[in-house]
Structures are given as C-alpha cells and as structure tokens.
Structure 1
Amino acid sequence: MSVLAVPAGKQAIFRVNPVAKLAAALLLAGVLMLTIDWVSALVALACELVLFFWAGLSARMFLIRTLPVWLAAPMAGLTTLLYGQAAGQVYWAFGLVHVTQGSSELAVATTLRILAIGLPSVVLFVTVDPTDLADGLAQIVRLPSRFVLGGLAGLRLVGLFIDDWRALELARRARGIGDGGAIRRLAGQAFALLVLSIRRGSKLATAMEARGFGAPIRRTWARPSTFGGREYALVGMGLLVALLAVVVSVATGNWNFVLA
C-alpha cells in the first residue's frame, strides 16, 4: 500500500465519524492558540504522543505523513529565537539578530505549540476517507450539499496531480523541452499542470451539473452518517487534553494569554 493512500485498520479511530475528528482537532488547536507558553504545549504534546499508539499508523507512515510538521516546527522556532521579542538577558546580538532569554523561551514555546497542534491534526485526518467526511459535513453539520459535493469532487482529483505531473514531465522530455534549467523547467511544468487542472475542473463541473448535483432540491444520501458514543468519546479526549494543558499551565504560572 502506498504511504499516500488512506490506510485502513480495525482500530476504533477508523470507525469514528470524520466530523468528530475535525471537532477534536479544532478544539485542541483553539485552546492552544490562546496561549504562548511551553508548559501547555508540552503537556498536550505528551498526551498526544501516548494516544498516537492507538491511531493505527505504522511508525514509517507516521513519520512520512508528519514530516512537514517536524520540519516546520524547528524552523519557526529558530526564526523566533533570532528575531523574536528581546527580553531579559542577552546571550548574543548581531545587527537585527538578538538572542535573549525571552526570545529563547518564546522559541521553545512556538516549536512545541506547532507540534502539539499540527501532529494530531495530521494523524486524525490520515484516517479520514473523503467520502465519509463529505457525508458527515452534509448530514451532521448541515453544510450545503452543493458545496460539500464540489469539495469532495475536487479532493478526489488531488491524487491525480502526481500522475499528471509525471506524465507532463515525460511528455516534455520526449519533445526536448524538459532538459533546461531546473527553475525554468519547474515553472513551465507547473503552468502546464495549472492549465490541465482548470480544463479538467471545467469538464467535471459540467458533468456534475448534467447529472443533477447542483439541483436546489433536498438530497438523499446513500450512506447515513451517525454521531454516537465513539464520536463523543474522541471529542471528550480532545477536550480533556486541552483542559489538562490549561490547568497545568495556570498552576505553574506559565499561562501567557495572547489576547491580554
């Protein structure tokens, strides 16, 4: 199985409604966005790492899927360390760069917060099937069916981008126009992919309209989407982790409300 495919498993997380996964991720992210301190982020991250063992992902798939988060977090922390708000003892300074006690603490908090928000979001949505998500958004959240079905159709086409990119690369090389500079080749191929995507999207929209997907009447759904005990349990775990992070942060005096 490709590591880019939606995995299947017997764990309970795979049977949870995607709406509950979305709610849990948004709830946790919303609470952590209220503060910039390393304690709340570290507590949330520690709880999440324990829960990840029941996510049904192999170590290889987990690392590949979450690699962008692992790369983005330290880069954001480094930027904050060098150019963050100067406060406290100055460790090193050169021009616009000031490494101080305040910027160091802020860098650690930023890195941990990105990991605590990004990792559970990626892990939860790895186990989401796009069709199940569309069913949940339309039947439970009551979003407009036209919007949901259009989003689902577009999401289904994302996987074709890789195949289109490879086909364009081979075609351009066969015509002798793909051997130039890397930047020029990348720009030309990206523009060609954009044109191809627009044409395909227009054809898809016309086909969906012809089949009645844009009709203003109330739609029926082939598969019912339910929200029960498993879903409430997942949202409850997200709320529990968020509250635990807040309580520990406030108790240790590290809570730093960003709107204060």
Structure 2
Amino acid sequence: MSLTVAPIADPDAPLARRNPVAKLGAALLFSMMLVLTLDPLTPALALAVELAVVPLFGLRYPALARRAWPLALAGAGVLVTMVLFAADRAGTTLLALGPFDITTGVLGTALALVLRVFAVALPGVIVFATTDPTDLADALVQNAKAPPRFAIGALATFRMLPLLGAEWQMLTLARRARGVDAGRNPVARLRLFAATTFALLVGAIRRGTRLAVAMDARGFDSGAPRTYARRQVFRGADAALLAGAAAVAGAILAISVVTGVFRPIIG
C-alpha cells in the first residue's frame, strides 16, 4: 500500500502553472454537468476532453494511470453491482446466469455509471497531480478566502497521507514477524485485513489528535491576521481557464440535448 501526494507534472506546462484555485474551480465546473444527466454520451465526451488536455497539464498518460488506478477498481465495482442487482432489466437478453439476466439495458446503464465515475473523478486527479498541496492551501486562503483553520488543517491532513502507506507496511511486517499470517485462507486473510485496518485507524486518530493540539499550541487558531510567505496571484489566464471549462461543459451538454440522448437526473 503506497500513497503519494507530490505533483508529478511538468510545472512549466501551460495549464500546470495556472493558479491552484483556478484549476480546482475548472474541475468542479466541468464535473457539475455530469450530475445533471444519466446518458452515456455526456460522460463519454467529457472523458474524451479530459484525456485530450492531459498533455497541456504536463502529465504523461502512464504516470496519470498509475495515480488514477483506484478509479479502475471503483468502475469495476459499479459494473459488477449493476449487472447483478439492477432492478430494471429491459432490453435484449445477452446472457442468462440463473436469476441474473444480463440485458442490453443493464449494460447500457452500467456503462453510463462507469463513465460518470471516471469523468467526474479524473479532473480532481489531474488537479492534485499537477498542484503542490502547500500552493493549493495558500491559494484557498488568499484567492478563495477560505478560513485559514480549514485550509491549513486540510493541508496537514493531505501531507500525512503518505504516512498511512508507510504505517500499513510497518503493521503488516510486524504481524508477519510475530507469525501472524493468513496464508491462503481467504477468511483468515479478510480477518487480518480488518484487524490491520482498525489498527491503522486508531493510529491515524492518535496522530491527528496530537497534530491538532500542536497546531493550536503554535497559534494556528489565534484569530490574528496572518501574513503569507508565498503569494498566489490570480491572473487573466486563470479566469480564462474557468470560462473555458464552463464553455466546454455547456457545449457537451448541448450536444447531448441536440442528439436526443439527454436524460435529466431529475424529471
């Protein structure tokens, strides 16, 4: 189990050097349209646009795939759940597995949901893969006027994520050194996973409590005006990025409406 939060993009790429708040806002604007419709065309077009602009963020596709691999697990989980437990099984039956009839309607709905998972989550992955967490916290406070307590606390939490991976490995090795090994027994492996997860959770809570006390002791919640060591400037190009994201999102929705596949989530 390995977690990393460091940016992996070329910092000189055209979109990678944009203001962190602008990148985060563009990702939110672009993803918002995907919660308005259930059709598969909208997320498919959105995903195509997202993959097309990856080089502009200074990212290589293999590096992005290594950072976004949990999305594949989430998509597989959604696909299996929909195929097995979908209530609406309209359409032509493709495969009959006892009580589970896999139909064209089930596969279409599952495909639309999987595409939405990828299309909604990928912009966030791109933003955090191209943004230093400290710059993001500074920009949230300076440009988005976020409360410093929230921004600095979120930064501290984000910085501690890699420690979870290291602690997981330490717990696993410690249990193995004590002779606690599940072997090939799936039930024992599941019990060992649950026990290790609980130990990791307890350690994370204790570390978070100590960090909160230490931050309060150093005056992070004093209420006094704070100064900034790193200025984050919001330029015209950053506003253009937000406008461009909104325009592309609107164009994709318009294409779905014109082609007649638009399925509003409400109504």
Instruction: Indicate whether the TM-score tops 0.5.
Output: yes
Measured in 2, the distance between the counterparts of 1:3 and 1:153 equals 15
Match of 2:132 among 126, 129, 133: 129
Q: Are 2:3 and 2:164, in contact at CA under 8 Å, matched by a contact in 1?
A: no
Relative distance call for 1:204 and 1:111 in structure 2 (3 A) is closer
Alignment of 1:1-260 (within 5 A): 4=4, 5-9=6-10, 10-82=12-84, 83-92=86-95, 96-174=99-177, 176-180=178-182, 181-260=188-267
Superposed displacement of residue 127, structure 1: 1.0
Bigger CA drift: 53-62 or 140-149? 53-62
Q: Quick check: 1:130–1:152 contact (8 Å CA) kept in 2?
A: yes
Alpha carbons of 1:74 and 1:183: their partners in 2 closer, same or farther (altered >3 Å)?
A: closer
Relative to 1, partners in 2 of residues 1:194 and 1:49: Cα closer, same or farther, differing over 3 Å? closer
Give the C-alpha shift of residue 88 in structure 1: 4.2
Q: CA RMSD in A?
A: 2.4
Q: Measure, in 1, the Cα distance between the counterparts of 2:129 and 2:263.
A: 32
Q: Does structure 2 retain, via aligned residues, the 8 Å contact 1:3–1:61?
A: no
Unpaired stretches in structure 1, ≥5 consecutive residues: none
**TM norm structure 2:** 0.85
Partners of 1:64 and 1:145 lie apart in 2 by 32
Stretches of structure 2 that go unaligned for 5 or more consecutive residues are 183-187
Aligned-partner residue type, residue 169 of structure 1: T
Name the aligned partner's letter for residue 235 of structure 1. L
Deviation per residue, 1:42-96 (Å, 9 max, x gap) = 2222222211122212232111112222332244234334415233445455665
Count of residues in correspondence between the two structures = 258
What is the deviation of 1:26?
A: 1.3
SS in structure 2 of the partner of residue 12 of structure 1: coil
Distance of aligned partners of 1:169 and 1:81 in 2 relative to their CA distance in 1, 3 Å threshold: closer
CA shift at 1:18, angstroms? 1.7
After superposition, the Cα gap between the structure-2 partners of 1:73 and 1:164, relative to the gap in structure 1 and judged at 3 Å, is closer
Q: Structure 1 pair 160/23, CA: closer, same or farther in 2 (3 Å)?
A: same
